[in-house]
Amino acid sequence: MLGIWFNHDDLDYRTKKHENAEFLKDIGFTHFYVLIKGIENDIRNTAPYHERVRYLVSKARSMGIKAHGVFICSEDAHYLSENPEKADISYKRARSTCRISHVDECYRAYLKESILTAVEEFGLDGVQLDFLRFGYVGNGWGKREEEIYASFGVRVEELRKELTTSYDPSKPQNNLGAFLKRLKEGDAKLTSFSKARSFIIRQQSV
């Protein structure tokens, strides 16, 4: 499998835009990922995004390339502008201004509607829930999430303190190695936290 992903905002940074997408097939791409629900906009509230997705998925199909929709599911400015009371964040750090709770039932319904709308209209071959597990957990969480952590034996205040002092939220990839090493070594604190996050992710994916 060889895939490529498309972010609408990337167009603003490109000095040369390809008018002919046939080169993707010539290179050997078999899968195409297009951003459908971003942090601030999605195809339901941004007409140019909607038309662009329609065009890109159609072009991918004509070349025999599978089309997948990408949905940012840890931040959502549009959702919070309509539901400000849902900003259930008790631990907030950098890049958390639009952070939502992964266990917010209202948001799960909102996200599901977004996915079903896109799948039904474009006949997507797959869906990617972006930022559900990687990095952003260090950028904040809500009270309900803390309750779940505690139920799995996580000492929330200790974890919060450790993240605050040793985790750089602007560069999550630089911190991941040390945490994974401790997890592989059987660190009880991270093992409990990992189990709690796995539970939350499974709930979000249902």
- So what's the pLDDT on residue 138? 60
- So what's the pLDDT on residue 27? 78
Q: What is the CA radius of gyration of the chain?
A: 19
Give per-residue pLDDT as tens, 59-95: 888 888 889 999 988 788 888 888 887 776 666 665 5
Token duo for residue 58: 């159609």
The span from the CA of 41 to the CA of 82, in Å, is 13
Instruction: Give the best-scoring range by mean pLDDT among 14-18, 39-43, 152-156, 172-176.
Output: 152-156
| 0.95 surpassed by pTM | no
Residue 18 has pLDDT above 60, yes or no: no
Phi and psi for 60 in degrees, rounded to 5?
Answer: -60, -45
Burial of 44 (0-12, 13-18, 19+ CB in 10 A): middle
Longest dimension (CA), the chain: 54
Burial of 4 (0-12, 13-18, 19+ CB in 10 A): middle
Name which of 48-52, 115-119, 189-193 the model is least confident about: 48-52
Give per-residue pLDDT as tens, 22-40: 777 777 888 888 888 888 7
